[in-house]
Amino acid sequence: MTRPAAFVFVIVAAAGAGGCASTGATPRPFPAPHAPPPAVTAPLPVPPAPPGGAAALRNPAAGYGVAGTALSLRGAPYRNGGSDPAGFDCSGFVKYVFGQNGISVPRTVSEQFQAGRQVGGPQLEAGDLVFFSTSGRGASHVGIAIGGDEFVHAPSGAGQVKVERMSAPYWATRFIGARRVL
Which class for 115: exposed (0-12), middle (13-18), buried (19 or more C-beta within 10 A)?
A: middle
DSSP secondary structure letter of residue 116? S
User: Model's pTM, two decimal places?
Assistant: 0.69
User: Phi and psi for 102 in degrees, rounded to 5?
Assistant: 75, 25
Cβ neighbours for 86, distance < 8 A, ≥ 6 positions apart: 77, 79
153 membership: H or E segment, kind and range:
strand 150-153
- 9-64 pLDDT tens trace: 433 344 333 333 333 444 444 444 554 544 444 444 444 444 444 344 467 789 99
Structural domains of the chain ordered from first start: 59-180 (3.90.1720.10)
Please give the positions annotated as active site: 90, 141, 153
- 121-146 pLDDT tens trace: 788 999 999 999 999 889 999 999 99
CA gap 92, 158 in Å, rounded = 16
CA gap 171, 34 in Å, rounded = 59
Mean pLDDT of the chain: 78
